[in-house]
Structure 1
Amino acid sequence: MPRHFLIIAFGLLSCCLLNLSAQTEEPAQKEAIQPPKVFLDKSPRIVWFQLNRLDNERLLLVERKTDDPKYVPVYTAILTRAGMSRQDREEALAGLNKIKKTDAFTELLVGLEELDADDRQDQRTAAQLAEMLLSEPMKVLAEKEEVFAKATTAENKLLRPLGYAGLIVSGKAMRAGYHAADSPQTTLDCLAATPLIPLGSNRQVMWQPAIDWLDKKEPEAVRKAAIQALAHLPYHPSETFQRIMPFVSDAKFRAPAIKTLLQIPPKKRPTESVAKLAKVLVEYAEATPAALRTTEDFLNAMQLADQLLASLPVESARSYRERLRAVTVRVVQIRTVEEEMRYDTPYFAVEAGRPVQVVLKNEDLMPHNFVITQPGALQETAEAGAVLGPNPGFEGKPYVPKSDKVMHATGMVQVGKLERLTFTAPKEPGEYPYVCTFPRHWMRMYGVMV
């Protein structure tokens, strides 16, 4: 299907939805939760026991004031709890600063030191706290050079990348490079700092070292980390593509290489390299056992292949698509974007009457679903879902109304989870909207299947 048609279709849908978004929001369906009673005058152990039993929604309802030290545990819990928004963390940080008469840098560093480096949720929280810390004024960061240098050798492996990122952001990249050269582990810590460095804050200085660490003389772990780091370095994209592309043919490096190549905008991919890589990926698909064709790594590879084929001449693309069609099901990976209330995929195309699998991966801080509707039924379906609320609806799923306008739907996908939705694409060509039907999400979380 012509790409210009997809763009026009999505543009029409977007304009329609922007007009709808000005309308009245749906009322919240669930009953208000009462603020929990927490006894803050007990021992620290008992106080933390009480706080740890609360989910995030209830924790945010706990009474807190900035005129009494007894509220420090509440603010600390909010600052370091997984799944909290940036706004809630900043409010908690301000409370700690006022009660303890400290500064943001100090409290963020203390919070980071308390996190478990082996816990995935804490790793995510650490990245958010590091982002806040590195957003401090340059004057503050420049004064913390020795603190950052010390952090590069910290026992807590969450702090070591922060140390390198802090040195680079504050203009001490040469010192960071000196520490990184000590051993393979220090090199890994330095590479792990890459996504922590704010764009526009010297992150570009990591591009050349990352390219250099791709060299065959480097340990496998370092080369993998360099490939992963380049996914966060949007500089010299054409050269990055050419340097990473050969790794797709090596099973040890294929998965991270494909993830990085997916981050490079299609228009920045060299034409001659695109044709070569498309051939490699089609042959990889044909050689992959059927049992492995639903893994995340394979799906990423097919997503990249699909993008590359869109850039090839029509005849070449058709030949490759026919070969892929014989061995794969059309798979579309859609991720939610953290704190932006949107899907990362605004539209996708399917072949009429062919099997399709949508993989929804929730990387946001709240649950979301994915509902495909009949053409023109997006708002109607979303509003009906809000009225239904958490009660069972379509196929017993909450927030999805029992309606002939609903074609397919996932359940509510929790934070950090994914759900696969497999169905046969409609035989009738058209624009089929998809949307999150949780109350008020539909105004921003939508797209179109063509």
Structure 2
Amino acid sequence: MIEIPGNVFPRRLDILLPMAKKAQGMFIEDENGRQYMDASGGAVVVNAGHGRKSIAKAIYDQILSHDYIHPTMFTTRPVEMLATRLAQKAPDDINRFYFFSGGSEANEAAIKLARQIHVENGNETKYRLIGRWKSYHGLTLGSLGAMGRTSFKTYFTPLLKENLHIPAPYCYRCAFGLTYPSCKLQCAMALDEMIENAGPETISAFIAETVPGATIAACFPPKEYLKAIAQICDHHNVLLILDEVMCGLGRTGEFFACNHFDVVPDIVTLGKGLAGGVMALSAFGVKETHFNVIKENSGVFMHGGTFSHHSVAAAAGLALIDILDQEKLVQRVKIKGERLGELLKKHLLPLAQVGDVRGKGFMWGIEIVKDKKTRMPFKRSLKIVEGIWESLFEKGYITYKSSGLAGVNGDALVIAPPFIIEDEQIQRLVMAIKSTMVEFFN
């Protein structure tokens, strides 16, 4: 039993964490002077690097101008400008943005918005939500109910509304035992079957991560998958909510990840890197047509929040987008991400315990297996990924853990560095992962 000093209820109760002292660029330094390369941007959050002076100045200036302004009493220029900048980059007709503090809030609100849109359109029987297994949408009760990661839900199942789920587009472990492309996208066709069996008149929305993130480690879906999903949703008058809290804002080499698939969702959610991790900021974007339905009927979205539409957080978001644009960081991710992926595949796929390396841009997953031929995972009780992660952390490299990919078992690392990582740092990171895995399994 570890004695936990102080009065903080920490995120981890099993170890004593080092005390961070400074963070700059790609690195975090603890109070003992040890440096760590932040190769996951924390929880896939830090996209423009640590210690950005322009974001700090934007926050400082905004606080001195006006800080907390209640959004039912005033609008503010930073909020208006951030919504406009996002609309300029969003897929066609995603023109209205609503701001929150975290991704869980954004997804919770999106689920509520979808229901209200149907009610305003006279479709009051549409209330049920479909999600995917092996998904993550947040830890508020609504978003927790939508997610398909069982371990997060077990304690709280009696509190949750029961939702429907279909298999994820997880080709490495296809739920149907099929192989792409001969599978004919059975994982997408499962949505049509679910809607038909549950009753199309009862289904409000389908929520999915555009690119599944931590739960199945950056598993980029087949090119045609989301197009098929969108067509099924349109056919049944089911709203499509795409969760880009982790994969959006350039992480995959496109500002909106859905642009890879030429799909425009009804609602898209953003978070994590929307303010570069400096401030808590998230959002949903919704099609203008749906916004008008709310405006022209009840005239109010039945939602709110003390810290929604926060001017200081919005100022940080604007400064972050300025950095992405001025330094062409999203284009950089597209180019450097190819190099990162090539090196990961070259050096890690030959290892006996690496079953798959997948991803795009600066969002890559390394799936670790006991038997490469059968894809048999390690038992979760062995905590394989935790051991590898800790070894890398001791060497000064921060990655992100993924577990429970194969039922309750399975292990993977997620690599998602800030967009400013240099070629030499990419090379050093990949070689550190390789050497650590070789040492760990020998």
TM-score by length of 1: 0.29
- Structure with the higher strand share, 1 or 2: 2
Structure showing greater Rg: 1
TM-score by length of 2: 0.29
Larger RCO: 1 or 2 (CA < 8 Å, sep 6+): 2
- Structure with the higher helix share, 1 or 2: 1
